[in-house]
Structure 1
Amino acid sequence: MFQQPLPEVYQSLPAARGARRDAWAAVLPRRWRGALRLGLSTALATSDLLAIFVTAYLTEVIYYEFAFDQQLATGMTGSFQLAGLVAVFVLLTNLVREEYSIETQLTRGPQRRRMASLWLAAWGIVLVVGFATKTTNDFSRAVAIGFFIAGLPVLYLSRLAMVGLVRRATSPSSSSINRVHLVGFEEDIAGFYASHDAEALGLRVVGTSYLRRIDTREDASVRQAQMSEDLDLAVSVVRFLRPDDVFILVPWTDAADIERCVDAFLRVPAALHLRPGSVMDRFPDLTLARVGRLSGINIGRRPLNFSEITLKRGLDMILSAVALVMLAPLFAAIAMLIKLDSPGPIFFRQRRYGFNQQAFGVFKFRSMKTEQNAVFRQATRNDSRITKIGAILRRTNLDELPQLLNVLMGEMSLVGPRPHALAHDRSFERRIALYARRHNVMPGITGWAQVNGLRGETLTDLDMERRVSHDLHYIDNWSVWLDIQIMFQTVVSRRAYRNAC
């Protein structure tokens, strides 16, 4: 076994007593490390607290200034009471899920989806508390609405600024950064260095212990003695360096070697970690999870959890019902124009795959001429089958409006991956990786791909791959705000009307 040499400054320790203390201070964990990390976490929590209270107070000040042309009088602090309720829920939830830990901020940073879900949940709690205590009349509705709208962007920007400060404060020379020791065979450690940048990971490698490959032709006793010798030396080095964490990079296929390493390093006062290889890099948010009494490494959760599904479904039902009532005159006008333009039914219904690849009939205004026993063929630009009214409906996306009925019936959502014809699904699923993952959520009338101009005819696999990549981005980054943004862009963005045919 051999060790990676220490930096030159430590290779020959100075003889002077004071200099020896300096060398030891550089090698051993620095003082106040825990206090510094606690201070950074506290600063993150404090920034959230200030962002909530300052936004609430300024909203109330601005409201009284413009609505009543007067300054906010002393004692009129209804915004503080409202902010206090929101802040308590936000901070307690973030503390429970360790949102303010340095590791969380270094690896994930502020996530809009998580913050938006928490913000909506906090306001849901506020409404429940206000209703239960009959105190909703104590707060100005205008101030509450303004605080609700402005609070999340301010909270996100505040967290973004603080995360930047935390990441600068945890540079490789900072005393707050984790000091790590690596143990493994030479090729595994070389692979780790080739694929990882310690500084980018927010850690400092203070030592490396290389294990020797054991000749399989040797007797079992010889191989065991050689491994024991390597591990004893590695443990001695770890005791001297006193790192915060020890990472064992031995492949999981070498189960016996893993067992010996674990037994050896459980004797030192450092956190012990196993690296299962490249799978860790493919799934950066791995967690140890329990299902019943069974433990496992969780590499992915459901696309939407129960609360997110409930929130999305509630939004779909309310908006689709309101839209159907308001658009009833437009529906009648389009129906009349379709009947006058060409013979055939008003609606066109086609079988498509929905959630979990369950087939359903999607509603559309008929935009093509009726053909008997017609074989499915994707619409193309300047398609002769498209009627005059149909061309207008397709260019303006109005042919999709009847799908509001599918939304109301629970077969679709307002926003999600667009459902394709069954023939397309069967064809592309065999040729494009993760294509079927689009069916892990409800299909939508509009989606992230459509508002980015990825709609209409798909001439090549690359066209579909781009569309699928946008759909998967939507699934992995869903939030209510993203849905609202997509619905808004569907109406006003030019890209949403691009490639219509």
Structure 2
Amino acid sequence: MPQRNTALVRASFSAMAASFDLLTIVGVAVAIETTYYSIFYGWSGLSATNLQMCLFAAASFVVANAMRNEYSFANYLQLRGHGWRSFSLWSLVCLCAIAVGFLTKATEETSRAAFVLVYAVGFFAIYAQRATLAHFVRSSAAAGGVSARRLFLVGFEKDVEAFTYRYKPWTCGMHVVAAVVLRETENTLDDDLALAAASARMLRPDDVFILAPWSRTDVIDACVTAFLRVPARIHLGPERVLDRFVDAHIDKVGAISSLSLSGHPLNLMEVAGKRIFDVAVSLLALILLSPLLLVCALLIKLDSPGPALFLQRRYGFNRETFRIVKFRTMTTMDDGRHIKQATANDSRVTRVGRFMRRYNIDELPQLFNVLRGDMSLVGPRPHALAHDQLFERRIALYARRHNVKPGITGWAQVNGLRGEIDSPEKIRMRIEHDLYYIDNWSLIFDVWIIFLTIFSRKAYRNAI
């Protein structure tokens, strides 16, 4: 696809994505205002004042997103991040709309309940619309229909082949316009690079990828020098080690530049948002479920001797130990170096305990751990200390699970990966799901996992 046509497609897509956001917000606001007032007051609430506030919120949301390049084609190649970015900006826009309405006295004619509905339904409508559009973009890019970037590859033959085979850039919305192979014989590098640079100036790609081992600094320096004269972004091709880290990026502190492989999974705002969500939901859950908790405690006491609650040491955030709280479901209360995992038809599991394990009821007291800050509602499930130490020695990247707080439920659990770990494959799959959650966290993802924990059949598989 010629560069001019590609640029036109990208501009058209950005305009379309912005229009979808605008129409979604206005449509939701008009529908709710009209329906709400018609049901409760018998007349349409779509006054000129309310319509102006709807348009103000929609226009502010779209303009702010456009200013931060939210509507770029490449941004829709993945859904990750859209939920949190949309939620934070939508909340800010709604607060601004309230402030403007208060100053202009427009809020006197607006129902607070209707506004809350517009805020809540509007966010989910925006996210659903973006999820649909992102799915369409990914499908189109994978089929080669649309390209987000035009790539020019230069490097040694084996490195170019490995790059294209491993990453398949065309499935990510990237179109390889040319690939120039450098000869590994002496005194040919300058000639090869002169030809490659001339080709790049003619093809005018968006990005140039230098594909050579990082140890070949002479080749990399020569490539950078040759392509500095080409109006394109220059990238140093990825080494294999980067495949292990999703968020690897160049970091700069003062005059020091470094390649940051991993850091804090969440920034300060995300940590605050997740903590507020945890506290609010766990408090509400404890209030609503308090009768069930009391009944469960009584049944445990009547079924077998011993306390109703079971406390065991687990590793939490930063590998700091805490005592997890669960309903006692077994006749033993192991908390030492040698802890036997529960197995199918385990004789140690009580009658009440078996029922509680089957429906995850034994995990409910961990809501107190969430309130204390030891745990989160959603995160990697914590294992007993003895098992944790064993898995950490055997499995690469296992320790990354401790970069976030453990959870009552998690992405592995709602995919049926729970219960006894009796094979390397089971723990490997569980770790892969935990790391996927860490690398792709969003508040919407947490809500979705909680929903699946309650309503998905997979979440109740392999209970013992």
1:65-91 CA distances to partner (integer Å, 9 max, x unpaired)?
433444455x34525414523552454
Answer yes or no: is 1:400 the counterpart of 2:363. Answer: yes
1:459-474 matches, cutoff 5 A: 459-474=422-437
The aligned amino acid for 1:376 is I
Aligned residue number for residue 256 of structure 2: 294
Question: Structure 1 residues 47, 444: CA separation in 2 closer, same or farther (over 3 Å shift)?
Answer: same
SS across alignment from 1:210: strand
Mapped contact 1:183–1:210 kept (Cα < 8 A): yes
Q: Which residue, 420, 424, 447 being the options, matches 2:387?
A: 424
Mapped contact 2:312–2:335 kept (Cα < 8 A): no
Answer yes or no: is 1:352 the counterpart of 2:321. Answer: no
Mapped contact 1:86–1:122 kept (Cα < 8 A): no
**Aligned CA-pair RMSD:** 3.5
Answer yes or no: is 1:104 the counterpart of 2:72. Answer: no
Mapped contact 2:94–2:119 kept (Cα < 8 A): no
Aligned residue number for residue 20 of structure 2: 47
Aligned residue number for residue 458 of structure 1: 421
CA–CA distance in structure 1, aligned partners of residues 352 and 206 of structure 2: 70
Question: Structure 1 residues 285, 56: CA separation in 2 closer, same or farther (over 3 Å shift)?
Answer: farther
Report the alpha carbon displacement of residue 119 of structure 1 after superposing the two structures with TM: 1.9
1:41-73 CA distances to partner (integer Å, 9 max, x unpaired)?
222222222222222222222323433444455
Q: Which residue, 196, 208, 233 being the options, matches 1:234?
A: 196
Unaligned runs of 5+ in 1: 1-25, 216-222
Q: Which residue, 70, 81, 86 being the options, matches 2:53?
A: 81
Report the alpha carbon displacement of residue 324 of structure 1 after superposing the two structures with TM: 2.9
Mapped contact 2:328–2:362 kept (Cα < 8 A): yes
Q: Which residue, 145, 148, 168 being the options, matches 2:116?
A: 145
The aligned amino acid for 1:44 is A
The aligned amino acid for 1:122 is W
1:389-420 CA distances to partner (integer Å, 9 max, x unpaired)?
33333333332222222111111122222211
CA–CA distance in structure 2, aligned partners of residues 35 and 370 of structure 1: 68
Aligned residue number for residue 276 of structure 1: 238
Aligned residue number for residue 191 of structure 1: 162
Give the number of the structure whose alpha-carbon radius of gyration is greater: 1
SS across alignment from 1:288: strand
Mapped contact 2:300–2:328 kept (Cα < 8 A): yes
Question: Structure 1 residues 64, 395: CA separation in 2 closer, same or farther (over 3 Å shift)?
Answer: same
Question: Structure 1 residues 299, 68: CA separation in 2 closer, same or farther (over 3 Å shift)?
Answer: farther
Mapped contact 2:22–2:58 kept (Cα < 8 A): no
1:171-210 matches, cutoff 5 A: 178-195=149-166, 197=168, 199-210=170-181
Mapped contact 2:330–2:348 kept (Cα < 8 A): yes
Report the alpha carbon displacement of residue 376 of structure 1 after superposing the two structures with TM: 2.5
CA–CA distance in structure 1, aligned partners of residues 181 and 163 of structure 2: 13
Q: Which residue, 36, 61, 78 being the options, matches 1:63?
A: 36
Report the alpha carbon displacement of residue 353 of structure 1 after superposing the two structures with TM: 0.8
1:317-340 CA distances to partner (integer Å, 9 max, x unpaired)?
223233334443433333333333
Mapped contact 1:184–1:249 kept (Cα < 8 A): yes
The aligned amino acid for 1:43 is M
SS across alignment from 2:215: coil
Aligned residue number for residue 119 of structure 1: 87
Quick one: percent identity of the two aligned structures?
A: 44
Aligned residue number for residue 441 of structure 2: 478
CA–CA distance in structure 1, aligned partners of residues 160 and 97 of structure 2: 55
Report the alpha carbon displacement of residue 35 of structure 1 after superposing the two structures with TM: 4.9
Report the alpha carbon displacement of residue 428 of structure 1 after superposing the two structures with TM: 1.5
CA–CA distance in structure 1, aligned partners of residues 218 and 381 of structure 2: 50
Task: Tell me the TM-score normalised to structure 1 length.
Answer: 0.79
CA–CA distance in structure 2, aligned partners of residues 373 and 416 of structure 1: 22
SS across alignment from 1:363: strand
Mapped contact 1:90–1:119 kept (Cα < 8 A): no
The aligned amino acid for 2:78 is G
Question: Structure 1 residues 276, 485: CA separation in 2 closer, same or farther (over 3 Å shift)?
Answer: closer
SS across alignment from 2:78: coil
Aligned residue number for residue 490 of structure 1: 453
SS across alignment from 2:257: strand
Report the alpha carbon displacement of residue 160 of structure 1 after superposing the two structures with TM: 4.8
CA–CA distance in structure 2, aligned partners of residues 316 and 213 of structure 1: 57
Aligned residue number for residue 277 of structure 2: 315
CA–CA distance in structure 1, aligned partners of residues 162 and 322 of structure 2: 49
Report the alpha carbon displacement of residue 281 of structure 1 after superposing the two structures with TM: 5.8
Mapped contact 1:248–1:275 kept (Cα < 8 A): yes
Report the alpha carbon displacement of residue 240 of structure 1 after superposing the two structures with TM: 4.4
The farther-off stretch of 244-253 and 126-135 is 126-135
The aligned amino acid for 1:335 is A
Answer yes or no: is 1:324 the counterpart of 2:286. Answer: yes
